[in-house]
């Protein structure tokens, strides 16, 4: 079975359209982001208190909200888990300082208030209390890890391939990160530790796909010496198209199972991965190679400056534009 039989699409012709589409998605993401005052931070980064309660019988969010009304600050009370789970999540903002022991005061208050309000019998599923020191620490580390891994991957690709390819791969990676964040914003997810982990995984995954194409480009340099870089790249994208789609498909299936059955805690993670996989595939085909060619510049629009092959053919023949 084959998805594509000898595909021969001229992807590079669409490169400016693709770049424009991506720019629109990212710009829309940024606009929504600004309108909402930034990506909502999960408790890991913002600090605060989350208490999840499981009631024995169904309760309304309203009754729990009323019960905890006397706690100052902006509170969130919402259903948690499956629709029939009778689980309620209560989130409180960061309170006071860490001096003294009042960090856990909020969680204690929620429990005693809900108990006193006679909403129903409940058990505490989980409690999370994160102080500002930890929140700030994790924010710093999260940014650091993302930047460091991008730099690491750039260096590796630059060593294994060439600099303009590294730029293409990294541009695609940044593209995927921005698109993912844009979709997180559209769907109202918050930035939690798990989501950051997913974004970091996406950086690795997105580059994976790109490397497969670049590898093929490198291989085709040897056999298609007389062709233009654009033509070689386009051929390589076409040759690897089947596997690009299929690998994305299998990973997508696995993560889809996680999204559907993995439970509430991993939902944000799975959603981020799903978006990242789709965006990663798209950027591999449309963005990475386009940028690599643009970056290779006018001087190399025809020939390649450092083909890993014997040099005798270099520059002998004038450029021929790809016709597909």
Partner 1 sequence: MNKNLRWKVVTILVVLALAVWAFWPPREKVHLGLDLQGGVHLVLRVQTDDALRVESETTMERLREELARRNIAIQGVSAESPTRFQVQGVPGGQDAEFRRIADEQTQGGFNRQSGAGGTYTFELKPNVVVTLRDEAVKQALQTIERRVNELGVAEPVVAPYGMAGDQILVQLPGVSDVGRAKEIIRSTALLELKLVEQGPAPTREALLSASGGSVPAGMEVVSGVDADGFVGQPGGTIYYLVRRTAAITGRDLRNARPSLDENNRPAVQFSLNQEGARKFGRVTGENVGRFLAIILDGRVQSAPRIDSRITDEGRITGSFTQNEAQDLSLVLRSGALPASLTYLEERTVGPSLGADSVRAGIMASLVGLGLVAIFMLVYYKLAGINAIVSVAMNLVILLGFMAYVDATMTLPGVAGFILTIGMGVDSNVLIFERIKEEIGAGKGVKAAVAAGFDRVFLTILDTHVASLIAAGFLFQFGTGPIRGFATTLFFGLLSNVFTAVFVSRTLFELALSRRQAATLSI
Q: Kindly tell me which of 28 and 82 has the beta carbon lying closer to partner 1.
A: 82
Q: Kindly tell me which of 27 and 265 has the beta carbon lying closer to partner 1.
A: 265
Cβ-contact 312, 241 below 8 angstroms: no
In angstroms, give the least distance from the CB of 38 to partner 1.
21
Which residue, 286, 270, 255, is CA-closest to 176?
A: 286
Cβ-in-10-Å burial (0-12, 13-18, 19+) of 116 comes to exposed
Q: Please pick, from the candidates 10, 61, 190, 215, the single residue that binds partner 1 as defined by CB under 8 A.
A: 215
C-alpha 137/C-alpha 316 separation (Å) is 57
Radius of gyration of the chain (CA): 25
Q: Could you give the 3-state DSSP secondary structure of residue 226? A: coil
Q: Please pick, from the candidates 35, 37, 62, 100, the single residue that binds partner 1 as defined by CB under 8 A.
A: 100
Q: Kindly tell me which of 10 and 128 has the beta carbon lying closer to partner 1.
A: 128
Tell which positions 129-168 bind partner 1, by CB under 8 A: 129-131, 133-134, 137-138, 141-142, 144-146, 148-149, 152-153, 156-157, 160
Q: Please pick, from the candidates 109, 208, 220, 309, the single residue that binds partner 1 as defined by CB under 8 A.
A: 208
Q: Kindly tell me which of 23 and 265 has the beta carbon lying closer to partner 1.
A: 265
Cβ-contact 153, 174 below 8 angstroms: no
Cβ-contact 121, 56 below 8 angstroms: yes
In angstroms, give the least distance from the CB of 230 to partner 1.
22
In angstroms, give the least distance from the CB of 290 to partner 1.
20
Q: Please pick, from the candidates 103, 119, 275, 287, the single residue that binds partner 1 as defined by CB under 8 A.
A: 103
C-alpha 315/C-alpha 300 separation (Å) is 10
- Count of chain residues binding partner 1 (CB under 8 A): 77
Cα→Cα distances 242→2, 52, 128, 209, 215, Å: 8, 45, 45, 12, 15
Tell which positions 216-245 bind partner 1, by CB under 8 A: 216, 219, 239-240, 242-243
In angstroms, give the least distance from the CB of 272 to partner 1.
11
C-alpha 103/C-alpha 265 separation (Å) is 23
**Phi and psi of 302, rounded to 5°?**
-100, -60
Tell which positions 245-304 bind partner 1, by CB under 8 A: 246-247, 249-258, 260-263, 265-266, 269-270, 273
Tell which positions 16-75 bind partner 1, by CB under 8 A: 52, 54
């Amino acid at each position: 079975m084959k998805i594509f039989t000898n595909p021969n699409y001229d992807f590079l012709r669409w490169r400016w359209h693709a770049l424009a589409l991506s720019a629109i998605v990212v710009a829309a993401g940024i606009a929504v982001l600004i309108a909402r005052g930034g990506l909502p931070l999960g408790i890991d980064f913002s600090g605060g208190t989350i208490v999840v309660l499981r009631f024995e019988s169904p309760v309304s969010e309203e009754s729990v909200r009323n019960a905890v009304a006397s706690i100052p600050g902006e509170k969130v009370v919402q259903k948690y888990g499956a629709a029939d789970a009778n689980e309620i999540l209560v989130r409180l903002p960061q309170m006071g300082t860490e001096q003294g022991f009042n960090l856990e005061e909020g969680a204690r208050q929620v429990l005693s208030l809900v108990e006193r309000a006679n909403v129903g019998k409940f058990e505490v599923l989980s409690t999370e209390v994160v102080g500002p020191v930890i929140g700030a620490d994790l924010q710093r580390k999260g940014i650091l890890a993302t930047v460091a891994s991008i730099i690491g991957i750039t260096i590796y690709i630059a060593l294994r391939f060439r600099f303009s390819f590294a730029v293409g791969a990294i541009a695609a990676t940044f593209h995927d990160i921005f698109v993912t964040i844009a979709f997180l914003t559209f769907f109202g997810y918050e930035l939690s530790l798990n989501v950051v982990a997913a974004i970091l995984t996406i950086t690795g995954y997105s580059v994976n796909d790109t490397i497969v194409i670049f590898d093929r480009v490198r291989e085709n340099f040897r056999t298609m010496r007389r062709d233009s870089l654009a033509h070689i790249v386009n051929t390589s994208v076409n040759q690897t198209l089947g596997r690009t789609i299929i690998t994305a498909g299998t990973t997508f299936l696995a993560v889809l199972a996680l999204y559907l059955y993995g439970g509430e805690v991993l939902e944000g993670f799975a959603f981020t991965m799903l978006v990242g996989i789709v965006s990663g595939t798209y950027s591999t085909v449309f963005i990475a190679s386009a940028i690599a060619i643009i970056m290779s510049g006018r001087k190399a629009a025809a020939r390649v400056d450092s083909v890993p092959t014997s040099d005798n053919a270099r520059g002998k023949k004038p450029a021929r534009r790809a016709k597909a």
